[in-house]
Chains A and B, each alone.
Chain A
Amino acid sequence: MSSDANMRYDRQVRLWGEEGQASIEAATVCVLGASALGTETLKSLVLAGVHSFCIVDDAIVEPADVGNNFFLDEDDVGKSRSQATIDKLKEMNPAVSGLFLNVAPAALDDNQLAQLAKCSVMVGTNLPQEFEAFVASYMYSLGVPFISAKAFGLVGEVHVCVREHTIANSHDENPRPDLRLDVPFPQLVDMVEETRLDDLTPAQLHHTPYILLYFKALEQFRKDHRNPDAFPNNYTQRKQIQEIIWAMRRPNESGSLDSENFDEAKTSITRSFLRTTIPQAVKDILADEACGTSSQPFWIICEALRRFSEDNDGLLPLRGTLPDMTSDSQRYTRLAQIFHDRAQTEADEVYRITKQVEKERGIGDVISQEMCYRFCKNADRIRVQRGEPWDFDRHISTLIRRIKEMRDCEDAETQRIDGAVWLLVLHAAFKFQREKGRFPGTNGVPCPIDTFDLQQRVESLIRMSDESVEKILPRIPMDAVKEMCRFGASELHVVASFVGGITAQEVIKLATNQYLPIDNTLLFDGLTQNATTFRL
């Protein structure tokens, strides 16, 4: 990275690292639709520094576009909407290249679509229902992630479609520490054995990192239980550990027993005294058949992890980062070094195995040592998300089931409409458009007439499921149907900006293989600012 690029991206590299930034700079994004939602999505992606983008739309700029789209101005009225946005998008970041295609997304021919589908992530905005299903199925068949986003009045939807998405770093905010209290490695055992608490001055004792106190308490605990392998595995036993630790305290020169390291030891007991295991989600990944066959880097390293854990008592490689704890410099840095060195050694072993797997599968040198090391550091937090092919019937049935399970259909006091209801009525509005060629609440048709027609579409969606209309329909408040007509397909800039911001971040998650994407559909209700997630 040049020093300018380094500075430009500094605030975000602190979040997703150089490797995340490199993935973004290699990503190409295709956005179908150049209305406010499309350009707001692209805004955050151009700023983040994607490699390139393509925006597809054949609309002609009208005054209302200038009223809600920041990447158009008055002089653009009458021009091609996709073309007019290009320069204003690109000027935000000279490193990003962008193209436009002056074609209606739904009118793309096979050739054009095949070209566009070479992108890293495809985003569709406010797509017509039939074309949405078509492009989603097509992208699924290619295995390229697709996001369908909508901004409609005061509600929005983001539907993330992936066939398989692997996550090398979920950025779990509160990972449990990897201290190996139950299975210490030799260098750690040595340091514990060298430590004799009785020989320490009070000052030294109060600067003893709590991990050493834990090991000493565990020795005592095992003596008390007359079992050399005992390990506290319930509340009562962790309480015993705490009492043992508390008894180790000695007064300082002012006579007080207070000491930060003992306090830290106490607060961290519950999180620290857990047996070292492989989390279930990771076990499932290592048992996945893709480990045995795939030639993708993620799965090759997973296969190496699987073999590593087989040879290492069912453990993952050590994370190698020691939590911060009160200590003198010498002992903390020595511990940190011990953990770091051990993690490095184990990651080197995993790396050696990946090279073996690469050879077995007849693929070249694709995994670097650094990539492998980073992977091992987060090995207990890897994830895989799998999606199913697009199926409108399934989406609707899932929503209806959810509506059936709602406790009461409407909370009269707060007027709050469940997210599932909004989503169903939103789909009904798109069905309305598919059948009548316009959205409810547009073209000057009085809202009450369109409300009636929209209500009929809601009913016919309910009929697609196994549930009876009589049972479900009363759970769809008429006010929600009326509200959807009131929206009249308006695309408020702020709602587009909200949904576009979320969509851009989902693209970044998909492009970097970091963080957990929405699984799989989000409904944003701007009336209450609540978001609900559904797996449709």
Chain B
Amino acid sequence: MVSVDPLASERWRHIRRLTDRPTAFAPAWFEPGPHNFNFLRNSSVLVIGAGGLGCELLKNLALSGIKNISVIDMDTIDLSNLNRQFLFREIDVGKSKAEVAAAFIEKRVSGCSVTPYNCRIEDKPAEFYRRFTLVICGLDSIAARRWINAMLCDLVQTLPNGEIDQTTIVPMIDGGTEGFKGNARVIYPRMSACVDCTLDLFPPQVNFPLCTIAHTPRLPEHCIEYIKVVVWPKERPFEGESLDADNPAHVEWVLERSMARAEEFGIRGVNRRLTSGVLKRIIPAVASTNAVVAASCALEAFKLLTNTASVIDNYMNFTQIEGVYSGVVHMEKDPNCATCSGGSFLINVSPDDVLEQFMERIVAKFQLRNPYLETLRQKLFWVSDFYPEMIERNKANLGKPLRELVNEGEEILVVADNLSKPISVRVSFS
């Protein structure tokens, strides 16, 4: 049969089939035609992270026809990245991830421009983020996710009539993986559930109590943690350098001492892989899961930018250990979310808990670095040269039960190094 396909020699034929033809599965405002592809082609997308997900995302977006891509990552390439970060080679080890990834995509996919930013996301102002049609994240840190989430929520403006100005919304698509599991979600800042609305979805960070690692270790991890948090700061090896988990000599030093400690307590299982795993808090990763989750994110980006199909509502889970699971659940927006609704986080506590316990809880919940706490009436915990009197007060407050410091329902403002703005927490006594 003679081919009369008008798209026979079209590079973007596979995409144009979907953008140019009618369907029952698109949102009501979808009008088939080449303008859909043109909008996608000329939109401007920011990829945050050029690691396992980031490499896949850049490839996926470039091969979806998007011409203007930016990528931001402060990391450099490591040998252990090469089992999944396929835009990097051995000779690239030590170079900027963002720069190498951008150059690779530009070379392979003609007509695609990728602008690299070799810096932290916190280094860029609101104006930088405002100019993107869409932001896609492939991050391994909860703190960074929360930062960009708060930034995109802040970009949203309210009209004089109190309604949200839709034109100021920069949608966010967020992917995450661990081993053979992953998730992808779509967030319309201030319109749908944001990262902070659903903080409980993140697995709690494993922190071993100091008394266990110091006095009653029983696991190999306890021995390694002890060397890391007690012995290293005390002995100050390598001329007082701080512990660098990427420095093989440092890892070796910790390994040797951890093994000796394990031997002393009769604990088996300390080895080099475990030691580096504990020191770096390594998350296991494979290429295939990254490919699936990044494809899931990019598929939603494609739908969002072309309207060719309805975007998922709003959180996709994936697992591939026992067969394959892939399914979508709807996450509810929290009407009291401090980040996207201007409310406070409600925390149930016992009035007898002391401030120290309370701080441990919020540090774990929000993954805070150096938190300071104050209410409208007083500072609860504050470290600053301007408040020398707080040194003694801090100490005393840490041991006081909450009922002596705050009232039921009172607002506590939390400031921390890794928060882009303070968060508000309300205590509910139970």
Q: Show the binding face of A for B, using Cβ within 8 Å.
A: 4, 7-15, 40, 43-44, 47-49, 62-64, 66-70, 73-74, 91-94, 153-154, 158, 170-173, 207, 324, 327-330, 332-334, 336-337, 340, 415, 437-438, 441-444, 447, 479, 482-483, 486-488, 490-495, 497-498, 500-502, 504-505, 508, 515-519, 522, 524, 526-531, 533
For A89, the closest partner residue in chain B by CB is: B86
* Interface hit among B22-30, B130-138, B187-195: B22-30
Shortest CB-to-CB span from B150 to chain A, Å, is 27
Shortest CB-to-CB span from A262 to chain B, Å, is 16
Tell whether A490 pairs with B13 under 8 Å between CB atoms, given A91-B89, A498-B292, A504-B288: yes
Tell whether A13 pairs with B291 under 8 Å between CB atoms, given A70-B59, A444-B3, A483-B25: no
Q: Judge whether A324 and B292 touch: CB under 8 Å.
A: no
Q: Judge whether B108 and A49 touch: CB under 8 Å.
A: no
Shortest CB-to-CB span from A516 to chain B, Å, is 4
B321 within 8 A of A: yes
Q: Which chain B residues numbered 268 to 321 have a C-beta less than 8 Å away from chain A?
A: 268, 273, 276-277, 282-292, 294-296, 298-300, 302, 309-310, 312, 316, 320-321
Q: In the complex, which of the residues B80, B287, B309 contacts A154, with contact meaning CB atoms closer than 8 Å?
A: B309
Compute how far the CA of A8 lies from the CA of B88 in the bound complex, rounded to whole angstroms: 12
B184 cross-chain contacts in A, Cβ below 8 A: 529
Shortest CB-to-CB span from A377 to chain B, Å, is 14
Tell whether A492 pairs with B25 under 8 Å between CB atoms, given A7-B80, A11-B285, A505-B180: no
Compute how far the CA of A170 lies from the CA of B322 in the bound complex, rounded to whole angstroms: 8
Q: Judge whether A63 and B14 touch: CB under 8 Å.
A: no
Compute how far the CA of A482 lies from the CA of B276 in the bound complex, rounded to whole angstroms: 54
Q: Judge whether A64 and B10 touch: CB under 8 Å.
A: yes
Q: Judge whether B63 and A154 touch: CB under 8 Å.
A: no
A67 cross-chain contacts in B, Cβ below 8 A: 10-15, 63, 65
A493 cross-chain contacts in B, Cβ below 8 A: 14, 59-60, 63-64
Q: Judge whether A490 and B63 touch: CB under 8 Å.
A: no
Tell whether A526 pairs with B5 under 8 Å between CB atoms, given A12-B285, A488-B17: no
Q: Which chain B residues numbered 211 to 244 have a C-beta less than 8 Å away from chain A?
A: 216-219
Compute how far the CA of A344 lies from the CA of B312 in the bound complex, rounded to whole angstroms: 50
Q: Please indicate which of the listed interface residues B216, B310, B322 has the most CB atoms of chain A within 10 Å of its own CB.
A: B322
Tell whether A479 pairs with B24 under 8 Å between CB atoms, given A11-B284, A68-B63: yes
* Interface hit among B156-164, B324-332, B361-369, B405-413: B324-332
A153 cross-chain contacts in B, Cβ below 8 A: 17-18
Q: Judge whether A501 and B291 touch: CB under 8 Å.
A: yes
Q: Judge whether B282 and A14 touch: CB under 8 Å.
A: yes
Compute how far the CA of A517 lies from the CA of B299 in the bound complex, rounded to whole angstroms: 25
- What are 16 inter-chain pairs, A to B, with CB distance below 8 A? A15-B286, A43-B86, A43-B291, A62-B9, A63-B13, A64-B10, A67-B11, A154-B309, A444-B5, A444-B6, A492-B299, A497-B56, A498-B299, A501-B288, A501-B295, A527-B309
B97 cross-chain contacts in A, Cβ below 8 A: none
B side interface size, CB within 8 A: 83
A443 cross-chain contacts in B, Cβ below 8 A: 1, 3-5
Q: Judge whether B14 and A68 touch: CB under 8 Å.
A: yes
Compute how far the CA of A173 lies from the CA of B325 in the bound complex, rounded to whole angstroms: 14
Q: Judge whether A14 and B14 touch: CB under 8 Å.
A: no
Tell whether A519 pairs with B282 under 8 Å between CB atoms, given A493-B14, A529-B316: no
A333 cross-chain contacts in B, Cβ below 8 A: 218, 265-267
Shortest CB-to-CB span from A200 to chain B, Å, is 15
Q: Judge whether A518 and B323 touch: CB under 8 Å.
A: yes
For B326, the closest partner residue in chain A by CB is: A531
For B286, the closest partner residue in chain A by CB is: A12
Compute how far the CA of A482 lies from the CA of B80 in the bound complex, rounded to whole angstroms: 46
Tell whether A11 pairs with B4 under 8 Å between CB atoms, given A333-B265, A486-B22: no
